[in-house]
Amino acid sequence: DIVMTQSPDSLAVSLGERATINCKSSQSILHSSNRKNYLAWHQQKPGQPPKLLIYWASSRESDVPDRFSGSGSGTDFTLTISSLQAEDVAVYYCQQYYTTPHTFGQGTKLEI
Amino acid sequence: QLQLQESGPGLVKASETLSLTCTVSGGSIGSSSYCWGWVRQPPGKGLEWIGSIHYSGSTYYKPSLRGRVTLSVDTSKNQFSLKLSSVTAADTAVYYCVRHAPGRGTYSPGVLEYWGQGTLVTVSS
């Protein structure tokens, strides 16, 4: 199985400041033929199901604010929130879908 | 707008079989390249992918659960189902049904696009 490791486990950021969450995969999830990274970020707010934020490592879902951005390639990836808003309090999970079993990082809890 | 809704018993006795159904609305299970699957989350813990199925019958299971998990699709009811046998307390979790975008291979699961609201299943002794 591909192991996904996130850092940090928890993070406290002031409103309006930048938040950065890292994710590392145990093997490359970059597909050589299409040059796509099979990496997604999901946001889970308290008491809610997860929600897809970013796929292909850097493509935002249509309803996701542009303060959210994803970057990275191969085995190292980053989710950045450029200016933290109160509604961004959540647990964030990275997930690889390069191969089954699909695997998630352990989650990063983001607080104000 | 695609919607997924889980249903099934909220309490299952240890050693018995957990059975859940996901009803899909706003889209058809049997007319696309999408895979449909299940993810679970033990209370206070992270997410675990269980498995996925395409209406053609292609199935993908988490290896550690293989042998206990069965996924099926009922295109006439626009539903898909999960059965998990010989449950223990470790299977207590919120179970989410999900839809994947198409993956790398034919009828394989890609990114998790849609999530149901989830249903809590508790295994009692």
Contact A93 B47 (CB under 8 A): yes
**Mutation choice for A interface testing from B45, B108, B111 by most A CBs within 10 A:** B111
* Dihedral angle over CA of B106, B84, B94, B40, nearest 10: -40
Query: How high is the pLDDT of residue B32?
Result: 75
CB contact under 8 A, A100 and B112: no
How far is A79 from chain B, CA to nearest CA, in Å?
17
Whole-number pLDDT of residue B20: 98
Cβ-defined contact of B113 to A52 (cutoff 8 Å): yes
Tell me how long chain A is.
112
Q: What is the pLDDT of residue A19?
A: 98
Give me the pLDDT at residue B55, please: 86
pLDDT score recorded for residue B104: 83
Three-state helix/strand/coil letters over chain A:
CCCEEEECCEEECCCCCCEEEEEEECCCCEECCCCEECEEEEEECCCCCCEEEEECCCEECCCCCCCEEEEEECCEEEEEECCCCHHHCEEEEEEECCCCCCEECCCEEEEC
Kindly state the helix (H) or strand (E) to which residue B81 belongs, with its residue range.
strand B79-84
Q: What is the pLDDT of residue A75?
A: 98
Residue B108: predicted pLDDT: 86
Per-residue pLDDT averaged across A55-83, rounded? 97
| pLDDT under 50: residue ranges of chain B | none
